[in-house]
């Protein structure tokens, strides 16, 4: 019995167990024995490339994981190109030229992905900036020095003084 339907697009839904009207899933995953290349070095490269290519008919699944016939075709295509002596990037370029950028699980760097790639950096700098303002560098040196003497704490209100006294007395 050959795998008929993508499996991976199920997992997301299942993970929170929401939508259940799912298509079939099947046991055998990905690479079939007859696909494996004899040259183990080429095969390793093929597997690596497979991890970066999306199975186009599946939900968020690489062709390395997918049972779909299309994924198998792509895996064979990758191996075919590698056997013909293509470099890794040539293989990827070839597949992108046929299927579009959508096929790449790691989107290429470009104007349309600028925000994608830079958001982590922007947030990191933003968070560092915020953290600095929290720590108030202008005052920290003084505060650190003052902390030794316990003077950095804002003075207690009379109310708090009374409370503190109560607590201390109790202890």
Partner 1 sequence: MIVEFGHFALVLAVVVALFQTVVPLWGSLTKQPRLMETAKPAAILQFVLLCFSFAALTYAYVVSDFSVANVAANSHSTKPLIYRISGVWGNHEGSLLLWVLILALFGSAVAIFGNELPQTLRANVLSVQASIALAFGIFMLATSNPFLRLENPPLDGRGLNPILQDPALALHPPFLYAGYVGFSIAFSFAIAALIEGRINAAWARWVRPWTLAAWMCLTLGIAMGSWWAYYELGWGGWWFWDPVENASFMPWLAGTALLHSALVMEKRETLKVWTILLAILTFSLSLMGTFLVRSGVLTSVHAFAVDPERGVAILLIMTIFVGGGLALFALRAGELRQGGLFAPISREGALVLNNVLLTTATATVLVGTLYPLLLEGLTGAKISVGPPFFNMTFIPLMVPLLIALPFGPFLPWKRGDLQGVAQRLIIAALIGLVAMVATMAVASRGPWLAPIMMAIGVYVMVGALQELAFRAKVGSAGREEVLRRLWNLPRSVYGTALAHFGVGLMVIGIVATSAYRIETVLVMKPGDKVDIANYELTFKGVAPFRGPNYREQVATFDVSRDGVPLTTLSPSKRVYDAPPQPTSEAGIHAAWRGDLYTVLGDAQVEDGGYAIRLYFNPLVRFIWLGALLMFIAGGISLSDRRLRVGAPRRKSRQPAVAVAPAE
119 binds partner 1 (CB under 8 A): yes
Q: Looking at 83, 144, 156, 161, which residue binds partner 1 (CB under 8 A)? A: 144
Phi-psi region of 136 (alpha: psi -120 to 50; beta: other; left: phi over 0): left
Q: Residue 5 to residues 23, 24, 37, 106: CA-CA distances in angstroms?
A: 6, 6, 25, 24
22 binds partner 1 (CB under 8 A): yes
167 binds partner 1 (CB under 8 A): yes
Q: How far is the CB of 6 from partner 1 (least distance, A)?
A: 11
Q: Residue 14 to residues 10, 83, 90: CA-CA distances in angstroms?
A: 6, 39, 37
Q: How far is the CB of 84 from partner 1 (least distance, A)?
A: 23
Phi-psi region of 150 (alpha: psi -120 to 50; beta: other; left: phi over 0): left
Q: Is the Cβ of residue 83 or residue 163 nearer to partner 1 in the bound state?
A: 163
28 binds partner 1 (CB under 8 A): yes
51 binds partner 1 (CB under 8 A): yes
**SS3 label, residue 68:** coil
Q: How far apart are alpha carbons 49 and 31 in whole angstroms?
A: 13
Tokens 């579009």 belong to residue? 100
76 binds partner 1 (CB under 8 A): no
Q: Which stretch binds partner 1 (CB under 8 A): 59-67, 73-81, 89-97?
A: 59-67
62 near 53, Cβ under 8 Å? yes
152 binds partner 1 (CB under 8 A): yes
96 binds partner 1 (CB under 8 A): no
Q: How far is the CB of 82 from partner 1 (least distance, A)?
A: 17
Q: Looking at 73, 93, 109, 128, which residue binds partner 1 (CB under 8 A)? A: 128
151 binds partner 1 (CB under 8 A): no
């Amino acid at each position: 019995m050959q795998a008929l339907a993508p499996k991976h697009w199920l997992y997301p839904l299942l993970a929170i167990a929401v939508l259940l009207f799912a298509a079939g899933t099947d046991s055998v995953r990905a690479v079939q024995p007859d696909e494996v290349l004899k040259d183990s070095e080429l095969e390793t490269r093929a597997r690596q490339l497979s991890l970066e290519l999306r199975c186009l008919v599946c939900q968020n699944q690489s062709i390395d994981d997918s049972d779909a016939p299309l994924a198998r075709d792509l895996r064979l295509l990758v191996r075919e190109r590698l056997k013909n002596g293509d470099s890794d990037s040539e293989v990827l370029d070839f597949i992108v030229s046929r299927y579009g950028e959508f096929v790449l699980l790691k989107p290429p760097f470009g104007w349309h992905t600028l925000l994608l790639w830079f958001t982590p950096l922007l947030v990191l700098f933003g968070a560092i900036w915020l953290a600095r303002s929290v720590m108030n560098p202008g005052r920290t040196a003084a505060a650190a020095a003052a902390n030794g003497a316990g003077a950095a704490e804002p003075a207690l209100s009379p109310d708090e003084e009374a409370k503190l006294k109560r607590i201390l007395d109790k202890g």
